[in-house]
Amino acid sequence: MENRTELSSLGEFKLIEVLNKDNVVENDSTLVAIGDDCAVLDYKDKKVLISTDTMAEGVHFDMVYTPLKHLGYKAAVSNFSDIYAMNGKPKQITISLSVSNRYSVEALQELYAGIRLACEKYGVDIVGGDTTSSMSGMVLTITVIGEGNADTIARRNTAKENDLICVTGDLGAAYAGLLVLQREKATWVADPNMQPDLDNYEYVLERQLKPEAGKWLIEFFEKNSIVPTSMIDISDGLASEILHICNDSNVGCEIYLDKLPIDYQTSRVLEEFKIAAETGALNGGEDYELLFTISQKDYEKIKDNADIHIIGYIAEKNAGCKLVTKQNTTIDIKAQGWNHYRDK
């Protein structure tokens, strides 16, 4: 970046104006966006879905290898994903940003450009925000507001015995990308003249730095009159998420290890790090794929969609939550679940 405008040179209101000047409002449900005490929305006969997510520097992202535009894009998309996970459509976001004066106005404009890019792609309006200083680093909180229909909202606690368990896309790629970035950072810290070698890692890096959310699936459901019996997005790893569904729905499950969708590049990268591909697919976070269950009667409607993979089925509660290996042995599913305070 050639210019550097200090945050201190603008007041809070001017900063909000600069960051939001390129916003475009697209949704009918957005009556008032930025510029008053509140945004005003009109959801008519739709239910209102709300979710909020925070990303903190040094915890969720590392400024060494996270371009700010990508960070903004990912923060927005990961929030949209929570709305899709209820079988809804994201419509508005508010952005709360707490940053030290180490950042310039131009840096925040980059961040906003990434958020705006995601909003344009997914049809979402920016309707509010707050920018304050922090003692150190950056904390970015996005709250997303979306719409759902009373009779098609998908909960976590409504999976039924014999339902099919499905997952979109492929798993473990974002985690594989993170491992590559962490390795290149370590190399760079040891010798800042080293150029990172990122050839042949494009797919896993893109999945880590610029993930996408499951808009297409919600449109596919609508078009084909499918209502998933339960759904959740995969932000903390498949193992953790399927346990949420099973525990909340009071059921068990069987997941077939050899059915887990894993991209070739993901397998190859995980192998470099001596991690079994299935382990990465089960425990790697941040893929933002959707995990859902459907009634068996809907099997015909999904079986030809190459991006939907049936990986198991819902069992009765007493059967527990099991992984089934190729050798037909079973293992209890355990959530690794990330603990920021312990694992970092």
Q: Hey, which residues between 237 and 256 contact a second copy (CB under 8 A)?
A: 248
Q: Which residues of 315-326 are buried (b: 16+ CB within 10 A; e: fewer)?
A: beeeeebbbbee
- Measured in degrees and rounded to the nearest 5, phi and psi for residue 47 equal -80, 155
Q: What is the DSSP string of 110-173?
A: HHHHHHHHHHHHHT-EEEEEEEEE-SSSEEEEEEEEEEE-TTT---SS---TTPEEEEES-SSH
How far CA 132 is from CA of 2, 72, 97, in Å, comes to: 24, 17, 6
52 vs 187 by CB, closer to a second copy? 52
128 vs 254 by CB, closer to a second copy? 128
**Residue from 17, 26, 31, 329 in contact with a second copy (CB under 8 A):** 31
Is 174 one of the binding residues for a second copy (CB under 8 A)? no
Using the rule CB under 8 A, give the single segment among 39-47, 193-201, 217-225, 310-318 that binds a second copy. Answer: 39-47
Residues 119-138 that bind a second copy (CB under 8 A): 127-130, 132-137
**Residue from 41, 126, 180, 275 in contact with a second copy (CB under 8 A):** 41
20 vs 141 by CB, closer to a second copy? 141
Is 25 one of the binding residues for a second copy (CB under 8 A)? no
**Residue from 4, 17, 35, 250 in contact with a second copy (CB under 8 A):** 35
**Residue from 36, 199, 300, 304 in contact with a second copy (CB under 8 A):** 36
- The rounded distance, in Å, linking the Cα atoms of 99 and 104 is 10
Residues 94-113 that bind a second copy (CB under 8 A): 94-98, 101
Q: Is 102 helix (H, G, I), strand (E, B) or coil?
A: coil
Is 344 one of the binding residues for a second copy (CB under 8 A)? yes
61 vs 201 by CB, closer to a second copy? 61
- The rounded distance, in Å, linking the Cα atoms of 256 and 324 is 5
- The rounded distance, in Å, linking the Cα atoms of 211 and 78 is 8
157 vs 325 by CB, closer to a second copy? 157
Alpha carbons within 13 angstroms on the beta-carbon side of residue 102 total: 10
- The rounded distance, in Å, linking the Cα atoms of 164 and 294 is 5
Tell me how far, at minimum, the Cβ of 62 lies from a second copy, in Å.
11
Using the rule CB under 8 A, give the single segment among 114-122, 142-150, 171-179, 205-213 that binds a second copy. Answer: 142-150
Using the rule CB under 8 A, give the single segment among 46-54, 176-184, 252-260, 306-314 that binds a second copy. Answer: 46-54
Alpha carbons within 13 angstroms on the beta-carbon side of residue 223 total: 8
- The rounded distance, in Å, linking the Cα atoms of 339 and 182 is 18
Residues 73-92 that bind a second copy (CB under 8 A): 82-83, 85-86, 88, 92
Is 217 one of the binding residues for a second copy (CB under 8 A)? no
Using the rule CB under 8 A, give the single segment among 48-56, 106-114, 207-215, 274-282 that binds a second copy. Answer: 48-56
How far CA 291 is from CA of 90, 169, 170, 222, in Å, comes to: 18, 10, 11, 17
Tell me how far, at minimum, the Cβ of 133 lies from a second copy, in Å.
4
**Residue from 28, 37, 300, 332 in contact with a second copy (CB under 8 A):** 37
Window 52-71: contact mask with a second copy (x via CB under 8 A): xxxxxxxxx-----------
Is 258 one of the binding residues for a second copy (CB under 8 A)? no
CA-nearest of 221, 213, 227, 222 to 74 is 213
Q: Look at the block and give the residue holding tokens 């709360």.
A: 96
Q: Give the tokens for residue 334.
A: 């355990």
